[in-house]
A and B are shown apart, each in its own frame.
Chain A
Amino acid sequence: MRVMFFAISLLMLLPVMPARADTLSALRGRYVVDPSSHIAFSVAQIGGGGIQGVFPRFSGTFDLQPGDMAKSRVTFSLQPESVATGEPRVEKFLRSSAVFDVEAYPTITFRSTAIRQEGSDHAVIQGVLTARGIAHRETFEATLVKRQGQTITFHVVGDLMRSPYGMDVGTPIYSNVVRFDMMLNGRRR
């Protein structure tokens, strides 16, 4: 079996600090993560290859304060039970007590604690991720990739260690690092 993974999170944001005032105001506000978003993860394995999957069920919000990123907030949660890898036995293993233990811990959550803007379209989001009942500080990088009407899209990436959450099964055959690669579409409320 295989493996693992997990996790979480999300997102963020940041405001493209654009040169034009209307762009700023376009990002200001509260956004809800749209179901069209894509939450992918991968875990490398020794000798090449690895496990790739997605979490189709999730939810989240971001409250953007372009003038003061420190006041912006991101929350995200996903249902590990929804994990999809294309291999039913791997998914069953991931849902089991060996990894997510979805019966005891049906959701994985992330809540930002600090957001720092870096450049016009990039932000570093620090926060607390809770999986299997264990809270741990994690960091994600978000890049604004699209803004269209009431929708903004961020590409969010982050490498998390799974061992702090008691999900280290399979190491060192499978990497302790879970790489998240997410396209988050936020819809303004």
Chain B
Amino acid sequence: MLRNTRTSYGTVAIVLHWTIALLFFAQIALGFLTQAVADRPRLQFDLYQWHKSFGFLILALALVRLAWSLSSIRPLPLPGVPRWETTAARTVHRLILALTIAVPMAGWMIASTSPLMIPSFVFDLVVVPDLPFTRSDAIEAFWSRTHALLAYGSGLLALAHAGAAIHHHLLRKDTTLARMFGAHTVR
């Protein structure tokens, strides 16, 4: 089933969720690495280009996911889950989805405001133009800090989200996590 139902997530939502989750965490690690290899400029340059390429890929996938999410119904909350937990979960879901768009956008702002004007040649396939903003070292530095802050913050949020899912699976033994692998709600 491609689309969500009231008791299950559809294949599209599931594939987008896990693909972006995997790319996003790998991307955070890659972003950290770009700063850790400052003493190896050639490697650093190459890592930056990979980071930019995956960033644009994540942005594209996250926009597709947003559109898909807005046009889909959601599975109903599991029976017995307190209302505040459902509200908290929904809030975190929305925040994480927003951040998977905001973090790459902030990265795009770095490229767009850097005086270095290094082209974004995504996977050496297509040039993504810079956004039309003023360039300066100070503005670039502001976006670099913002990008890192948002990225590490969203990483922590995603870990909390994953922790909650695992809590449901191991301690409450319900189908919260299993639903994200295709299972239907079990009452």
Cα distance, A2 to B46, chains bound together (Å): 11
| Structural contact, B118 and A1, CB atoms closer than 8 A | yes
Cα distance, A169 to B41, chains bound together (Å): 10
| Structural contact, A49 and B45, CB atoms closer than 8 A | no
Interface residues on A, range: 10 to 19
| Structural contact, A172 and B121, CB atoms closer than 8 A | yes
- Which of B45, B49, B115, B127 contacts A93 (CB under 8 A)? B45
Chain A binding surface, main DSSP class: loop
Interface residues on B, range: 10 to 19
Contacts A46-B121, A46-B127, A97-B42 known; A173 to B116 CB distance under 8 Å?
no
A-B contact count (CB 8 A): 44
Cα distance, A90 to B129, chains bound together (Å): 21
Contact mask A163-177 → B, CB, 8 Å, 1/0? Answer: 000000110110000
| Structural contact, B119 and A173, CB atoms closer than 8 A | yes
| Structural contact, A45 and B119, CB atoms closer than 8 A | yes
| Structural contact, B45 and A1, CB atoms closer than 8 A | yes
Within 8 A of B (CB), among A82-138: 87, 89-90, 93, 96-98
Contacts A46-B127, A47-B127 known; A89 to B116 CB distance under 8 Å?
yes
| Structural contact, A87 and B115, CB atoms closer than 8 A | yes
The interface residues of chain A lying within 8 Å CB-to-CB of B118 are 1-2, 45, 173
The interface residues of chain B lying within 8 Å CB-to-CB of A90 are 116
Cα distance, A46 to B123, chains bound together (Å): 13
| Structural contact, B49 and A173, CB atoms closer than 8 A | yes
Q: Which residue of A lies closest to B115 (CB)?
A: A87
Write the residues of chain B forming the contact surface with A, with a CB cutoff of 8 angstroms.
Answer: 40-42, 45-46, 48-49, 115-119, 121, 124, 127, 129
Would you list 11 pairs from A and B whose C-beta atoms are within 8 A, ordered by A residue? A45-B118, A45-B119, A47-B129, A87-B115, A89-B115, A90-B116, A97-B42, A169-B45, A170-B45, A173-B118, A173-B121
Sample of 4 more A-B contacts, CB < 8 Å, known A46-B127, A98-B42 = A47-B129, A97-B40, A169-B42, A170-B45
